[in-house]
Structure 1
Amino acid sequence: MNFTELAKKRCSVRAYADKPIAPEHLQAVLEAGRLVPTGKNHQPQRILVVQSPEGLAKMAQAMHNTNAYTAKAVLMICSDTTDCWVRSFDSHCIHEIDASIVTTYMMLAATEQGLGSLWVERFDPEILRKEFHLPDNYVPDALLCLGYPQPEAVKSPERYDTERKPLEETVWYESYQA
């Protein structure tokens, strides 16, 4: 499968089969998160893998979702802010950008492995901090739910033909034009 096919195959999955994730599939997802380009190669990502029923219940609590979408694993993508590249022009720590790249790579690797995923930003960081004992310098940037998707949770790759704006509405050349 080429990249465009992979990108079109990926969809947000909110219902997962009651089947544990094969260790080799999870390992492939985590390896993809290790390979990402990060600001000045600082690699500030710190990923917590949560698979136990107790841990998933804590994740569901942080998401204010009673079942965490029935995911079999949730990856908490954090950034170590003491190990983050800082842009010299405005002193901006780019941890959110690095974490977004990590999450994107892992989401696409999950699709390649036959897993469904859901990128979650709706969570209470203080619950995550308390329940998972995050150090003060770790910022939870994203949660990635994983599992084998229920068949009805998978969307058609053709949806992009109608669900995405045409390039003419999102791309300009040389200068923005209203």
Structure 2
Amino acid sequence: MEFDHVLSVRCSVRRYTEEPVSEEDIQKIVKAGEEVPVGHFDFKNYAIAAITDKKVLRLLAEENQALSGRGDPIYGAPLLLLIMNTPEAREDSIKLNAGIMAENMHLKAVDLGLGSICIYSFIRTLNREEGYGKYFQALHLPEGLKPAMAVAVGHTPMVQRERRFVARIPTFRIDGKE
């Protein structure tokens, strides 16, 4: 898919089918997350977990519902890509680095014809819990990792539609010319 087309059809998808994401597509999406430039070359302090275990995803939805009163934060997507950092990651760049990783994975999912959504709300909610919630403990990840951002991915009944560009953010050109 052409890059400009990917940008024009990119949207946050909140409806998924139960069809699993192929292992090949998971690998491509994770690779997109790994290909980011990380500030201060701090790659060793980040990790990505690709979660397809239905029990863990259900536990995440139940915990989020109990704590926030809101429903499933990943909208039933069959794949959750959890971006994590170690305690040694530079605090001032964690959200920036994780956000760039998430956007790369989000764009790759669109390129593959999949629906996706970048998510932070459940992380903010569950970070208040001891150990970042039972869902996180169920992952059995190495000690010290902390969730920073996530991307939910799956097949969707929604059709990718190109949006007409509408400038919504003020931009300024400073070029020194009079």
TM (normalized to structure 2)?
Answer: 0.79
Gaps of 5+ in 1: 87-91
The alignment's C-alpha RMSD in Å is 2.3
Q: Does 1:71 align with 2:74?
A: no
State which drifts further: 22-31 or 107-116: 107-116
Q: CA 1:93 to 1:136, structure 2 compared with 1: closer, same or farther past 3 Å?
A: farther
Distance, in Å, in 1 between the alignment partners of 2:95 and 2:25 is 25
Aligned with residue 133 of structure 2, among 130, 133, 138: 130
The residue correspondences of 1:13-162 to structure 2 (distance < 5 A) are: 13-43=13-43, 44-64=45-65, 65-66=71-72, 68-82=74-88, 84=89, 86=90, 93-123=92-122, 124-126=125-127, 127=129, 129-131=132-134, 132-133=136-137, 137-151=144-158, 154=159, 156-158=161-163, 160-162=164-166
- Report what 1:89 is aligned to: none
Aligned residues: 161
Alpha-carbon distance between aligned partners in 2 of 1:174 and 1:53, rounded to the nearest angstrom: 51
Give the 3 Å change call, closer, same or farther, for CA 67–35 of structure 1 in structure 2.
Answer: closer
In structure 2, do the counterparts of structure 1 residues 25 and 94 end up closer, same or farther at CA, with 3 Å as the change threshold? same
1:62 deviates by 4.4
Instruction: Return structure 1 stretches of 4+ with deviation > 6 angstroms.
Output: none
Q: Secondary structure at the match of 1:70?
A: coil
Rounded to whole Å, the distance in 2 between the matches of 1:53 and 1:67 is 14
Once the two structures are superposed, residues 95-146 of structure 1 have per-residue CA deviations (whole angstroms, 9 ceiling, x without a partner) of 1111011001000111111211011121123357232236674332212111
**Which runs of no fewer than 5 residues in structure 2 stay unpaired?**
66-70
Could you tell me how far 1:67 is from its partner in structure 2? Answer: 7.4
Letter in 2 for 1:39: G
Match for 2:111: what amino acid? E
- What one-letter code is carried by the residue in structure 1 that aligns with 2:50? V
Please say if residues 38 and 98 of structure 1, whose CA atoms lie closer than 8 Å, have aligned partners that are also in contact: yes
